[in-house]
């Protein structure tokens, strides 16, 4: 049962690292992402909107 606890602890640590890094990355590039989305949504080009 100790192995299960060790695996659980490693999984918990990895989950926290991965989920927080996605959040940090999104916060870091939020301005650029919103700008690109606005450009695509307001574009008259169907090819751009399809992306």
Please, what sign has the CA dihedral across residues 8, 9, 14, 20? positive
pTM of the model: 0.46
**CA-angle at 22, arms to 16 and 23, nearest 5°:** 90
User: What three-state secondary structure class fits 42?
Assistant: helix
Q: For residue 34, what pLDDT is reported? A: 93
Q: For residue 41, what pLDDT is reported? A: 85
Q: For residue 30, what pLDDT is reported? A: 92
Q: For residue 2, what pLDDT is reported? A: 60
| pLDDT category of residue 42 using cuts at 50, 70 and 90 | confident
**Contact call for residues 41 and 49 (beta carbons, < 8 A):** yes
- From residue 13, give the alpha-carbon distance in Å to each of 2, 16, 21: 17, 5, 12
pLDDT tens, position by position, 1-37 = 467 888 888 888 888 877 777 777 788 889 998 998 8
């Amino acid at each position: 049962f100790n192995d299960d606890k060790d695996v659980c602890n490693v999984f918990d640590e990895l989950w926290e690292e991965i989920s927080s890094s996605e959040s940090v990355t999104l916060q870091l590039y939020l301005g650029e992402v919103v700008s690109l989305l606005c450009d695509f949504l307001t574009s008259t080009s169907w090819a751009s909107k399809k992306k």
